[in-house]
């Protein structure tokens, strides 16, 4: 069953989902700079005018497609086991970053020639995706699973090694890698306590 079939809503919701999925596919295939409306419409199976009417600006289309993907792609569970939830999140994040889309987006951020608008859209994608991690950390602090800690700092400490791994392409990122990162970071946070400014 495809994402489009799983998403609720009428025809408008289905068309939106098809266009956003097509946009993500084409960004992965050609990069952000290579996205063309006629290809989006063809892949989505909709009229090109429908795409232009709803998203008259290319960066708005890419932004919405990436926001939609960020919400679906790297959710973090709240099973009551913080360690397991963080390990699963890092494994999912690593798979996402090593995908063709993940590599295309990383390329945009590291290419000086990318337009500021497109770079802003891609940065917003990353921030939205890690926002779920921030919220899970905040809940862990509220429940006493962690001492008071800067959620942004902790998220950076957890996700940073995953980003480096994807950048250096050093082979598969495994659950063992994720567990090692989570254990080291959580141990450090618990020892140092509240390090918020």
pLDDT at 60: 85
Average pLDDT estimate for 61-85: 82
Taking a C-beta distance cutoff of 8 angstroms, is the pair 182, 86 a contact? yes
Q: Could you report the per-residue pLDDT of 74-120, keeping only the tens digit for each?
A: 668 889 899 999 999 999 888 888 877 777 777 666 665 566 766 77
Hey, how many other C-beta atoms are within 10 angstroms of the C-beta on 193?
11
> Is the distance from CB of 85 to CB of 76 less than 8 angstroms?
yes
Q: What's the half-sphere exposure (Cβ side, CA atoms, 13 Å) at 154?
A: 31
The CATH architecture annotation of domain 3-67 reads Orthogonal Bundle (1.10)
∠ Cα 112 113 116 (to 5°): 85
Residue 43 has a pLDDT of 94
Contact 105, 125 (CB under 8 A): yes
What is the average per-residue pLDDT within 43-53?
92
Distance CA(86)–CA(88), nearest Å, equals 5
Domain residue ranges of the chain, discontinuous segments joined by + = 3-67, 75-192
For the segment(s) 75-192, the CATH number from 1.10.357.10, 3.40.50.450, 1.10.10.10, 1.10.3720.10 is: 1.10.357.10
State residue 187 phi and psi, 5-degree precision. -60, -45
Q: What is residue 110's predicted lDDT score, i.e. its pLDDT? A: 63
Which tens digits make up the pLDDT trace of 166-191?
A: 777 667 889 999 999 999 999 999 88
Asked if the model's pLDDT at residue 141 lies above 60, the reply is yes
Q: Is the pLDDT of residue 196 over 70?
A: no
């Amino acid at each position: 069953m495809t994402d489009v079939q799983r998403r609720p809503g009428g025809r408008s919701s289905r068309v939106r989902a098809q266009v956003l999925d097509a946009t993500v596919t084409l960004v992965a295939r050609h990069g952000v700079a290579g996205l063309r409306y006629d290809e989006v419409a063809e892949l989505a199976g909709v009229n090109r005018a429908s795409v232009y009417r709803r998203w008259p600006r290319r960066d708005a289309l890419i932004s919405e497609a990436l926001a939609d993907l960020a919400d679906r792609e790297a959710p973090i569970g709240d099973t009551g086991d913080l360690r397991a939830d963080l390990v699963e999140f890092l494994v999912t994040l690593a798979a996402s970053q090593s995908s063709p889309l993940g590599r295309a987006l990383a390329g945009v951020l590291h290419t000086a020639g990318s337009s500021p608008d497109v770079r802003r859209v891609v940065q917003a994608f990353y921030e939205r995706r890690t926002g779920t991690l921030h919220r899970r950390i905040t809940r862990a602090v509220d429940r006493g699973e962690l001492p008071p800690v800067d959620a942004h700092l902790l998220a950076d400490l957890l996700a940073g090694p995953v980003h480096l791994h994807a950048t250096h392409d050093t082979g598969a990122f495994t659950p063992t890698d994720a567990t090692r990162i989570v254990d080291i970071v959580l141990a450090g946070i618990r020892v140092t306590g509240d390090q918020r400014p």
